[in-house]
Structures are given as C-alpha cells and as structure tokens.
Amino acid sequence: MVRYVLALLLMLLCSPALAQCPPNPPSTTPAQKSTVIGNINNCFADNTSGAITPSILRGVTTEMVNSFQQYPGVNATVGPTYTLATTDFGQMITTNNAGAITFNLPPATGSFSSFSFFIQNLGTGTVTLTPTTSTVCGAVTKTVPTGWGAYIVSDGTNWQCLGPFNTAVVGGGTVSSVGLLMPAVFTVSNSPIISSGNITVTANGTSGGIPYFNTTTTMASSGVLTANLPVIGGGAAGPSVGTRSGNTTAFATVGTPFANSQCVTTDNLGNLTTTGSPCGATGGGGTVQSVGLSMPGVFTVTGSPVTVTGSLTATAAGTQGGIVYFPTAATMASSGAFTANAPIIGGATAGSAPVSGTRSSTNSTTFVTTTGAQTSGHCVSIDANGNHIDSGVTGCGGSGGTPGGATGTVQFNSGGSFGGLTNVTGSLPSGNLTNARLSSTGVLSWDNGSGSADLGVRRVVANVASFSDGGTNTNGWHQWVGETRNSSEFSKTNDTTLADVPGLSVTVTSGRIYHFEFDGQINGTSSGGGQIFFAGTANISTSGTRYTGYCIAGTVVAGFAVNTGINFAPTVNNNLYCSIRGTFAPTSTGTITVQFAQNTLSPTSSILRANSTLFLWDTP
C-alpha cells in the first residue's frame, strides 16, 4: 500500500496538472472508500482545469492513510493495566498476566472515532474492558476470560464488539464441532457442540411399548402392550400382544426348577408348578397345595407360602433393648430400648408401651438383691455385702411402736421410721462410731445422771459450734469459731515490713460479731523492737471493732495500743510477752491473720516464738 502511494506522489510531482477539488484542499478525516475514490478523481483531474497543488495532494493522501487500517501487528502486554493508544489502530493487543487486568478505553471520539483493534487474553487473569465515558459491548464494562478474544470497533460514540469468543485450543486437536446420531427410539438435543456443552439423549417411543430391531441397523418402538397378556414375536413388524389359548402362551411360576420326570400341575393362582414327583406317584393323600404363615408384628415371615416343599421362617423384628408387649389383646409390638439398671414400669395408658422408670427416694421402684430363703413374717436386714437377708426375727415392731430385733441392733418399724424412739442411749467404745453425722439442727447432749440432759453441743452456722444446756437453744455459754497456733518460730532481720505469720489465721463469716485473743512471746527485741498487727482477706467494720493490746518486758509495759496494732521500740529486756484482746464485726467472709515485723531495722533478728495462739469465739 505504501509503495503505491509513493509512486502516485512521484507521478503527480513530476508533471504539472490542473484539478477540480471541492473542497480545496480536501478533508483529511477518514471517509468511506467511495468518498476517497471520488476525491481522487476530482482532485487528480486530467490536467484540463485547476492545478494539483501540494495542499491538494497532502489532503487526499492523508485522507487515504486515515481511511485504511494500520499495518497488521501484535502489541504484547504483560502488566495489570493497559490504556489503548492511537498506535494500536488495526493491531492485535495480547494480554498475559496472572492477576486481573484493567484495559482502559479512551472515549470513542476524536482520534478514536473511526478505530478498531483485536484483543486476546493469553494470561490466567480476567481482562476487564473499561471505557472512560463510552460504553463497550452495550455495557459499562466487559470481561474477556482466559483464552477468549474480541474485535472492538468505535462507532464514533461507543465501542462495539464482535465477541468475546473462545480462542483457546482444547486438547491440541483440530475438532471444531461434535454431533451425535442415535436410532429413532432416541431424541438427541444440543447437537452439535461447537464450543462446550452437553449432548442430551432422551427416549422416543410409545408409552407401554418396547424397543425392537426393525432392521439389522435400526430400532423402533412397538405398540402399547396389553396388561397381563403375553408378548409374542412379530418378525420385522415388531412384537405384539398374544392371548392365553390353552397352555400354549401361559407363563409358569415355579418354586423350584423343573426336573426330569416331575409332574407339572396348576396352583390356585393359575400358574404352572411342579409337584416334585413323577406324575401318578402316590402323595400324602391330601389336597393341600399351598401353605402360608402369618405372625404378629414382632416377627418377620419369609418363605411363605410353600407350594411344593420348603421352610417357613419367622425372625424377630423388634427394637434392640426393648421387650414385647400387647398393645391390644390380639396384637404384639416392641417397646423402645430401656435404660441400663433402671426399673421397667407400665405404660401411662392401657395398651401403651412399658418405659424405663427411676429409683425414687421412696424406694418404690428400688431393686434389691436377696440371699438365702425369705420367711414370711420375718424382719429383713442388710448383710455386709448390701444384700437383703432374713434376720430370723419375727416382725419388725408394731406401727409406731418400739422396733423389735436382737439386743444391740436398731431397725425401722413397719411405718418406715423409728416409731416411738426418742432417745438413743448407750456407750460408744472407741472406734465403734464411724462417719456418724447429725442433721443441721441436731443436738449432741449428755445425761446429768438423773435421766435428763444438762450439756449439749449443736451447730449454729457454718464453722460455729454452740455449747448449750442440752436443748436446741442458741444462747449457749460458748460458741467456738477457731483456735490456731504457729508451729515454728517466725523471725524478721533488717525488715520492718509486716508479713503474715504462718498458722495464725482463722476464717470468719460476714455478719457475725467475734471476740478474739492473741497471746505470744517475742525474743530479740533489744535491737530491732517489734510490731504486731492484724490483716486478712475479710473486711472489718471500723464501727464494730474494739480491742486493746500490750507487751510486757519483765514488769515494764513496752508497748500498748487501743484499736490499732502494737508497735514497740527496742527494749532493754530482750524477751517480751504480748497479748491483744477485743471484738470485731466482718462485713465480708474471709480470713483474719496475725502479722509481725521489726520496729527498727536491725541485723539482730526479732522473733515471734512458736506456739503463739490466736483464738476466736462467736457472740451468742
């Protein structure tokens, strides 16, 4: 094309000419071939009139260049984005990227008003054609999948498309279309496949008929076959319906295969069967031809009926772990599975299945293990293995009366309680009472020697015991909470920081009022002195707390405090006795703990001696 244009230019430049070229100079914008040819004829006249000027030549040749596509070539791109350029006119633009690719299209106007190009996606990422203002393929954007391509053309306003279409080569072969042909008794749809898809084959016959070979290479459908009538051959015309004429077309149902010399007979359903014996052989003399078996629903019957020889089989058909019961007087069924070690009780209504019960506290559904013979009227006792045995004693006491039984034993009466038994007396030799426990309101009392109690111990609240007059009153003389001691010496050296003394801690309960007393001996105080304070996890109400304390060195009071800890300086005497007494009311449950430290830093240890005590008791 370029060679022809250059030759034309040389011819025109080498010879003067005249031309009629409206407009003069001509337009340089792309035009249809007929317009370009008209401009060539008008502007390059036969030198009869008008001059062929350089302007005319430039206009016509520029129009020609703009009207034809650029030379074919390939612009291979690999990045995640690409923007169409004017140099891509007539080119094939390939993309090849593992990720998504954005292909930007300028407005389909101006330099791109008469523009076309090819695109092919060679990568694994999808290409998205994205116009700046125009549409592409009638949409805002258009995707080109892997292996697909398209031919894109500008109409001066928007970008129009041929495709996208699949350009991938599948399998490496040259097949471009796959079809399927089937016999006439089938219908084939979606054939041929030219890209990808499924070919579907469906039956195409007469309802109630059967397919047959009407030739050696073709198939057809017979007509509708009549119910319960035999099918007979029809040659090339196809199978048809026959009739039961005598036994020529009858079907024989046999329980066992026919054997040579056996006699054939007709059963009660009109089928042919074998007697299992030669014709004329003497049988049992009876007339029975078929024996069946029916069973309740908890059985499954197989082998029924027996028309010649055989066995009827009944197998269980219930729920594993269940039992058989009568839902009605004439039927049987299976219950559900029962819970291990639970009693079985009857259903809620008549005819309903038994269910698993529970071991109630009343012992109404408790099971027991018995050992040995049980004699009517004898009292039952429990042996060392937990089995119920015959005690050999007649009766267990009357209703509400004193239990019977041998001396030294305690038994329930017939009412299920210790009827009439209000006091249990006797001695408790050491080791004979194990795991004995009273109720939360019970009282352990002692006899005063005259048949009545004058001293008792009972539980008041958690961790609080009350010594009383033997009754159930709470106003005992002493309600003990706890008493502790430190089993080892607790020393402080060059240390004035208070620390908990191991062992000197008691748990207290919120809302109670406690009295307490601390007593202890301290050594080594001549250099470091000492401090004794109280701490712990319980919150102590300051309004309900009152206590005093002192430490005596010989006959001299070394330290004294009211409502605070004792803090004493080094003393001449190296040994002190300290005591703190008072009361407090905790507002939360927790611990009260004795703390100890030096008063003055000293390398000589201040020591709280072992066997110091902390004693608490509750206010009655």
3-17, 296-310, 418-432, 546-560: range with highest mean pLDDT: 296-310
More confident residue, 223 or 26: 223
339-367 b/e (C-beta count within 10 Å ≥ 16 → b)? eeeeeeeeeeeeeebbeeeeeeeeeeeee
**Contacts with 53 (C-beta within 8 Å, 6 or more apart), sequence order:** 19, 24, 25
State residue 562's pLDDT score: 65
State residue 475's pLDDT score: 56
State residue 580's pLDDT score: 87
From the list 479, 428, 433, 473, the residue with the least C-alpha distance to 453 is 473
Q: Among the residues of 48-114, which ranges form H helices?
A: 54-67
Q: How far is CA 67 from CA 34, 52, 87, 157, 537, in A?
A: 11, 21, 15, 18, 99
Binning pLDDT at 50, 70 and 90, where does residue 5 land? Answer: very low
Binning pLDDT at 50, 70 and 90, where does residue 137 land? Answer: very high
State residue 273's pLDDT score: 74
**Span 293-320, average pLDDT:** 86
Tens-digit pLDDT profile for residues 35-62: 777 777 777 666 656 666 766 666 666 6
Structural domains of the chain sorted by starting position, each given as residue range(s) with its CATH number in brackets: 2-67 (no CATH), 74-166 (2.60.120), 480-618 (2.60.120)
From the list 496, 534, 497, 535, the residue with the least C-alpha distance to 518 is 534
DSSP structure class, residue 535: E
Q: 309: helix, coil or strand?
A: coil
Binning pLDDT at 50, 70 and 90, where does residue 117 land? Answer: very high
Q: 10: helix, coil or strand?
A: helix
pLDDT at 408 over 50: no
Q: 402: helix, coil or strand?
A: coil
Query: Residue 562 and residue 567: Cα distance in Å, rounded?
Result: 11
Contact 552, 571 (CB under 8 A): no
Contact 512, 618 (CB under 8 A): yes
State residue 52's pLDDT score: 67
Q: 185: helix, coil or strand?
A: coil
113-127, 319-333, 368-382: range with highest mean pLDDT: 113-127
pLDDT at 321 over 80: yes
Q: 33: helix, coil or strand?
A: helix
State residue 313's pLDDT score: 92
**Contacts with 428 (C-beta within 8 Å, 6 or more apart), sequence order:** none
Neighbours of 317 (CB within 10 A): 13
**Span 522-534, average pLDDT:** 85
State residue 58's pLDDT score: 66
Q: How far is CA 467 from CA 321, 443, 475, in A?
A: 58, 10, 8
Binning pLDDT at 50, 70 and 90, where does residue 224 land? Answer: confident
More confident residue, 174 or 580: 580
Which of 256-260, 377-381, 476-480 has the lowest average pLDDT? 476-480
More confident residue, 418 or 459: 459
pLDDT at 372 over 80: no
Residues linked to residue 160 through DSSP beta bridges, in sequence order: 153
Query: Residue 136 and residue 148: Cα distance in Å, rounded?
Result: 16
**Contacts with 21 (C-beta within 8 Å, 6 or more apart), sequence order:** 39, 42, 43, 50, 52, 56, 59, 60
Binning pLDDT at 50, 70 and 90, where does residue 476 land? Answer: low
State residue 157's pLDDT score: 92
pLDDT at 116 over 80: yes
More confident residue, 600 or 174: 600
pLDDT at 70 over 60: no
The 3 state secondary structure assigned to 253-292 is CCCCCCCCCCCEEECCCCCEEECCCCCCCCCCCCCCCCEC
State residue 102's pLDDT score: 95
**Span 257-282, average pLDDT:** 70
pLDDT at 164 over 60: yes
Which of 34-38, 168-172, 322-326, 515-519 has the lowest average pLDDT? 168-172
State residue 222's pLDDT score: 80
Binning pLDDT at 50, 70 and 90, where does residue 134 land? Answer: confident
Which pTM was predicted? 0.33
Binning pLDDT at 50, 70 and 90, where does residue 432 land? Answer: low
Tokens of 562: 């009211």
State residue 326's pLDDT score: 84
Contact 383, 370 (CB under 8 A): no
**Span 102-109, average pLDDT:** 94
Tens-digit pLDDT profile for residues 322-370: 888 788 888 888 888 878 777 787 877 877 888 877 755 444 445 566 7
Query: Residue 492 and residue 527: Cα distance in Å, rounded?
Result: 12
Q: Note the Cα 182 to chain centre separation in Å.
A: 50
131: preceding bond cis by omega (within 30 degrees) = no
State residue 419's pLDDT score: 41
pLDDT at 126 over 70: yes
% residues pLDDT > 70 (the chain)? 68
Single-letter residue type at 551: C
Q: Are strands 388-394 and 443-447 parallel, antiparallel or unpaired?
A: unpaired
Contact 558, 523 (CB under 8 A): no
State residue 100's pLDDT score: 95
pLDDT at 105 over 60: yes
Which of 34-48, 204-218, 545-559 has the lowest average pLDDT? 34-48
Binning pLDDT at 50, 70 and 90, where does residue 142 land? Answer: very high
Mean of the per-residue pLDDT values of the chain? 76
State residue 71's pLDDT score: 60
From the list 508, 449, 504, 460, the residue with the least C-alpha distance to 614 is 504
Q: How far is CA 90 from CA 78, 112, 301, in A?
A: 20, 12, 84
Phi and psi, residue 619, nearest 5°: -75, 125
State residue 97's pLDDT score: 94
Residues linked to residue 201 through DSSP beta bridges, in sequence order: 188
More confident residue, 7 or 601: 601
Q: Are strands 606-608 and 355-356 parallel, antiparallel or unpaired?
A: unpaired
From the list 480, 587, 606, the residue with the least C-alpha distance to 531 is 606
Give the angle subtended at the CA of 428 by the CAs of 432 and 392, to the nearest 5°. 65
From the list 149, 111, 115, 155, the residue with the least C-alpha distance to 134 is 155
More confident residue, 166 or 20: 166
Which of 137-141, 178-182, 376-380, 504-508 has the lowest average pLDDT? 376-380
Query: Residue 95 and residue 120: Cα distance in Å, rounded?
Result: 6
pLDDT at 131 over 90: yes
More confident residue, 490 or 511: 490
